[in-house]
């Protein structure tokens, strides 16, 4: 990717709407893919509240799952305020809720019918779409649909200035870089997880369960260098345990802190990490396997080599999304390194990472590392998603 494709760097400004129309925002989140939807919504809601001084209500349809991401959340309470965000249960059909100035519908989750009916003409309605690097995104970003009494605007995140940008809190990139460059800080974090800091290659593994996990673990075990692989508790644990010969009757009993070894590979099972700790894990690892949307973007801000697994879709739509991202992000990368990245991603989504494919990726890792840092640094100079949303809603409020 040429630097011009990420457009001209600029100073990112905080936009304060506290004294303008659109101060109160309602964010709606249906949890479809376990943690991805709520992960994005929770990060965005906090950023809107803290950096843009907005009153934010976050409506969630499954508080039990959300509590994994928000540990202090009480799933039994219909409403509670955490970190300056009011978190509410998804409205029932008979609930009378006064709509806010802005209704932010995330990922086409569909607003509750009673809420939609109560919305006034002055309510600003935005649907935040899923992230994609496909070229058509820029053409559809910020368009409106007039199928109802209120215009519904479609906001597309993306990697260029012609889109809605990427979710990124102030200074997250700089904080990650500080950690990545400080062995003492890394050591402190690893010790907090009962891990040892040494010179082995560090890899984090977070994926969907249909990924070719056994072939990846085998390729790691057969690689020419020692590897520490950190696996936060998730649905892939049975596959990890099975690879190491755990009896089938015990596959679902793997606990935090358990360790497995095979040749050059050491695997440690980590607890389900807070968003802050997961960011730190990504920043100290040499390679990060990530999935969906939330962890994908966090891997970019970690500025370390990563292999992304898109959410599985029909008609191979996920492959189209993957190819579009690889073409955009790595277009100006060294040809040999770029091929190794593409080969590794293709193998990961095609159900088999062979030893030669993995070793070729490792052979090109220094080049991939330098390039990833360069690209992440350029993206961090763009206006972020929350700021672009606020600017967009400011302009809309003037027209209403």
Q: In what order do the strands lie in the sheet with 124-128?
A: 79-82, 85-89, 55-60, 24-29, 102-106, 124-128, 152-155, 143-145
Active site residue 293: yes
Separation CA 215–CA 352 (nearest Å): 6
Separation CA 196–CA 188 (nearest Å): 10
- Chain centroid, CA 208 distance in Å: 14
| Coarse DSSP helix, strand, coil percentages of the chain, rounded to the nearest 5 percent | 40, 15, 40
Please pick, among 105, 129, 293, 343, the residue that the annotation labels catalytic: 293
H/E stretch holding 131 reads: none
Burial 111-132 (b: 16+ CB within 10 A, else e): bbeebbeebeeebbbbbbbbbb
Please pick, among 26, 37, 101, 105, the residue that the annotation labels catalytic: 37
Separation CA 126–CA 10 (nearest Å): 26
Active site residue 37: yes
Contact at 8 Å (CB) between 70 and 87? yes
Separation CA 347–CA 341 (nearest Å): 10
User: Which residues have C-beta within 8 Å of that of residue 388, sequence separation ≥ 6?
Assistant: 164, 165
Say whether 245 sits in a helix, a strand or coil: coil
What would you report as the CA-atom Rg of the chain, rounded to the nearest whole angstrom?
22
Q: Which residues are catalytic?
A: 37, 293
């Amino acid at each position: 990717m040429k630097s011009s494709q990420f457009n001209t760097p600029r100073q990112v400004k905080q936009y304060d709407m506290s004294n303008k129309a659109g101060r109160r925002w309602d964010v709606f989140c249906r949890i479809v893919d376990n943690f991805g939807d709520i992960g994005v919504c929770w990060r965005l809601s906090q950023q809107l509240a803290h950096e843009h001084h907005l009153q934010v209500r976050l409506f969630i349809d499954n508080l039990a799952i959300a509590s994994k991401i928000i540990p202090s959340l009480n799933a039994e309470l219909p409403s509670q305020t955490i970190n300056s965000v009011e978190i509410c249960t998804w409205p029932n059909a008979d609930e009378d809720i006064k709509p806010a100035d802005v209704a932010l519908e995330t990922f086409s989750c569909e607003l509750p019918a009673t809420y939609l009916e109560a919305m006034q003409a002055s309510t600003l309605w935005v649907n935040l779409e899923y992230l994609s690097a496909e070229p058509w995104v820029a053409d559809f970003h910020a368009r409106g649909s007039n199928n109802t009494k209120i215009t519904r605007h479609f906001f597309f995140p993306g990697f260029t200035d012609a889109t809605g940008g990427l979710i990124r809190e102030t200074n997250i990139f700089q904080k990650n870089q500080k950690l990545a460059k400080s062995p003492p800080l890394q050591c402190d974090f690893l010790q907090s997880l009962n891990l040892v800091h040494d010179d082995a290659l560090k890899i984090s593994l977070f994926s969907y369960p249909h990924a070719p996990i056994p072939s990846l673990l085998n390729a790691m075990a057969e690689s020419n260098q020692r590897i520490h692989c950190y696996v936060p508790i998730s649905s892939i644990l049975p596959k990890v345990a099975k690879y190491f010969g755990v009896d089938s009757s015990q596959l679902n009993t793997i606990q935090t802190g358990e360790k497995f070894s095979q040749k050059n590979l050491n695997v440690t099972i980590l607890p389900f990490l807070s968003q802050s700790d997961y960011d730190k894990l990504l920043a100290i690892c040499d390679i990060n396997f990530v999935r969906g949307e939330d962890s994908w973007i966090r891997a970019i801000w970690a500025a370390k080599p990563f292999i992304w697994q898109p959410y599985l879709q029909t008609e191979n739509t996920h492959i189209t999304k993957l190819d579009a991202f690889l073409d955009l992000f790595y277009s100006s990368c060294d040809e040999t390194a770029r091929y190794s990245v593409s080969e590794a991603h293709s193998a990961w989504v095609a159900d088999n990472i062979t030893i030669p494919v993995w070793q070729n990726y490792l052979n090109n890792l220094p080049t991939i590392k330098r390039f990833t840092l360069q690209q992440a640094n350029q993206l961090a100079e763009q206006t972020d998603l929350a700021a672009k949303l606020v600017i967009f809603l400011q302009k809309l409020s003037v027209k209403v």
